[in-house]
A and B are shown apart, each in its own frame.
Chain A
């Protein structure tokens, strides 16, 4: 009898705490997503409604904000800013994926002198604050004549200067069984063929994670584009959006909202497309912000 009673109490306790949990989770989800829902609604609202009412769904929806905002106020509109962003982000992402794969493979599968030391150095640079090297880097790129180009983004990607991704790939390669390499060697493949033909097909989820992370980070990056890109013709969307906000009057608010919305779509779409691999990737490598 006694044990039965206790069992009952525990069951009741869990079901109440379950309900409380669900209420909390749903409320939290609403709070988390509310700003984004508001942003979507506001892109279709008149300015009076944007700041007068609290409803998310516009009462008298207007559809002009997207076309007007896209055209922009000056010489260059968002078609320029968006294509600039892709011109900057896509090569950066591709080269990051390639360099991180090579470096990860190198550290995970080969023995060479000073490997441990080099690996520790790479881990240490994970924690090196970017601000401490930004000024000499800027001066270096200035001397090379790379200011106002996308090279300050693309070349570091080629040179594997994102230790986070290298580390992620090292961890991933370490999880793949060595027998795969062995069987390749028995077939007379060299190490590059082993990487390309045997290991790479197994790395999909890790490489997807690298691609999604790097795409989102470079797409959202503001500080670096602010210092490196100076001509409006080359502005990526982050700078274009801020410029539009600075020069606009109250009457353009829904246009800015519409363009904010457009500017976050590519990372969001990529995230949902690659979500399966992506979440797996973070979970398995156990990393980052």
Chain B
């Protein structure tokens, strides 16, 4: 009955998804193909793209020192910010999951930074907090630590920027909390009857059951982190000495400051390839560490 009546509607479904189909073609597929095409051209926005072959890519890999610097900075950033953010989110979620009183309040307080973190206001705030005469230095001065040049020291600035990202762990935490709630209580009971201790239960049940959410968080956070822009742009403008010159900043400079659309497109495809490489690597590796519920 149900199946038959659904079949009657066969083409009605298209009417509902039509907006997305048009949007996908015009705003995603065509731009994707175009950006690949532009990446083989010289294109200064005014005028038409001029075919160059692989010249852009050749220049990027052989004659562009900022590319290597930016790539290095971006890798460091992803490597610092993503694991810390996810690890912290997981830790807090597990603590919150043990019948804590006031869980709603804690959850809300931890989540607020996630709804604000991407905004310019927070970047401005960060700049003030970590300035030389800023409040963070004033606080550490009270326990006798001399002022630290958080944003002016090339080996510290990227860490200070990463803190904005890690500060926003709340969104990943919410997903872990939802995941923890879905672990069947019977699994824990069975383990306890078998005499398993806390640690054993944690590593044999909690972590494997959460692993699909770890994977999801890892992939999404990685894709986002590779493209991050606002905090580095507003707080340090990529400096000092290009030590926070994230890939997104380089793309912005090439594309929207110098209007080298062809060159910027080539850069964007290299970033795409890098992201694709790391996400598929993560997916590959997940076969050995992600556990998909065989529990009913």
Binding site for B on A (CB under 8 A): 18, 21-22, 24-25, 28-29, 32-33, 35-36, 38-39, 42, 50-54, 99, 102-103, 105-107, 109-113, 115, 118, 121-122, 125, 127-140, 142, 156, 158-161, 163, 166, 178, 182, 185, 191, 216-217, 219-223, 226-227, 237-239, 241-242, 245, 253, 256-257, 260-261, 263-264, 267-268, 271, 275, 279, 282-283, 286-289
Q: How far is the CB of B245 from chain A (nearest CB, A)?
A: 15
Are B16's CB and A223's CB within 8 A? Answer: no
Expressed in whole angstroms, the Cα–Cα distance for A260 and B116 within the complex equals: 11
Given contacts A103-B16, A122-B24, A220-B116, contact A25 B106 (CB under 8 A): yes
B186 at interface, CB cutoff 8 A:
no
> In the assembled complex, which residues on chain A have CB atoms less than 8 Å from the CB atom of B28?
125, 128, 133, 161
Contact residues in A for B261 (Cβ distance below 8 Å) = 135, 139
**Contact assessment for A99 and B19 in the assembled complex, using a CB-CB cutoff below 8 Å:** yes
Which residues from chain B contact A219 at a C-beta distance below 8 Å?
119
Which of the residues A18, A121, A137, A282 comes within 8 Å of B175, measured between beta carbons? A282
Residues of B within 8 A of A239 (CB): 120
Say whether B203 faces chain A, with CB atoms less than 8 Å apart: no
Select from chain B the residue with minimum beta-carbon distance to A127: B223
- Stretch of B55-63, B134-142, B150-158, B285-293 contacting A (4+ beta carbons < 8 Å): B134-142
Given contacts A25-B100, A28-B92, A156-B23, contact A106 B13 (CB under 8 A): yes
Which residues of A lie under 8 Å from residue B238 when comparing CB positions? none
- Residues on A with C-beta less than 8 A from B92 are 25, 28
Q: What residues on A are CB-neighbors of B34 within 8 Å?
A: 136, 139
Q: How far is the CA of A94 from the CA of B27 in the complex (A)?
A: 19
Q: How would residues 121 to 139 of chain B score, 1 for a CB under 8 Å from any chain A CB and 0 otherwise?
A: 1101111110101110011
Which of B1, B100, B108 has a CB less than 8 Å from the CB of A21? B100
B26 within 8 A of partner (CB) = yes
Which residue of the partner chain, among B113, B116, B234, B271, contacts A129 with CB atoms under 8 Å?
Answer: B271
Q: Is B256 part of the contact surface with A, judged by Cβ < 8 Å?
A: yes
Verify B13–A135 contact, CB threshold 8 A: no
With known contacts A132-B271, A135-B268, A161-B28, A103–B20 Cβ distance under 8 A: yes
Scan B166-187; emit 1 where CB is below 8 A from any A CB, else 0: 0100111011011101000000
Q: Mark contacts of B257-291 with chain A using CB atoms, 8 A cut-off: 1 yes-contact digit, 0 otherwise.
A: 00001001100110110010001000000000000
Q: What is the bound-complex CA distance between A21 and B92, given in angstroms?
A: 9
> Using Cβ atoms and an 8 Å threshold, which residues of chain A touch B269?
132
A21 to B26, CA, bound (A): 51
Cβ contacts under 8 Å, B35 to chain A: 132-133, 135-136
Which A-chain residue is minimally distant from B231 (CB atoms)?
A222
B19 adjacent to A159 (CB under 8 Å): yes
B45 an interface residue at 8 Å Cβ cutoff?
yes
Q: What's the count of A-B pairs with C-beta under 8 Å?
A: 273
Please list 20 pairs of residues, one from A and one from B, whose beta carbons are closer than 8 Å in the complex, sorted by A's number. A32-B170, A54-B135, A109-B13, A110-B6, A115-B13, A118-B21, A127-B219, A135-B31, A135-B261, A139-B261, A160-B20, A178-B2, A182-B1, A182-B2, A226-B252, A238-B119, A245-B127, A263-B121, A279-B107, A288-B220
Q: Which residues of B contact A24 (CB under 8 A)?
A: 95
A residues within 8 A CB of B106?
25, 29
Q: When chains A and B are docked, how far (Å) is the Cα of A39 from the Cα of B265?
A: 39
Contact assessment for A161 and B13 in the assembled complex, using a CB-CB cutoff below 8 Å: no
Bin the interface of chain B by size.
35 or more
Q: Which residues of chain B from 1 to 44 have a CB within 8 Å of any chain A CB?
A: 1-2, 5-7, 9-17, 19-24, 26-28, 30-32, 34-35, 38
Q: Which residues of A contact B45 (CB under 8 A)?
A: 139, 142
Cβ–Cβ contact A161 & B271, under 8 A: no
Check A260–B121 contact: CB distance below 8 A: yes
Whole-angstrom CA separation of A109 from B15 in the bound complex: 12
- Whether A51 lies near B115 (C-beta < 8 A) is no
Pick from A38, A133, A163, A253: contact of B129, CB under 8 Å: A38
Evaluate whether A33 and B112 lie within 8 angstroms (CB atoms) in the complex, with A38-B129, A129-B271, A222-B119 already known: yes
- B96 at interface (Cβ–Cβ under 8 A)? yes
Find B115's partner among A35, A138, A216 (CB 8 Å cutoff). Answer: A216
Whether A267 lies near B116 (C-beta < 8 A) is: yes
Chain A: CB-nearest residue to B95 = A21
With both beta carbons as reference points, the residue of chain A lying nearest to B172 in the complex is identified as A289
Residues of B within 8 A of A237 (CB): 120
How near does chain B come to A185, taking the closest CB pair, in angstroms?
A: 6
A32 B116 Cβ-Cβ under 8 A: no
Partner of B98 from the list A21, A36, A107, A142 (CB cut-off 8 Å) is A21
Task: Name the one of B12, B128, B223 contacting A257, with C-beta atoms under 8 angstroms.
Answer: B128
Give chain A residues whose Cβ lies under 8 Å from the Cβ of B22.
Answer: 159
Query: 3 tightest A-B contacts by CB?
Result: A106-B16, A110-B13, A159-B23
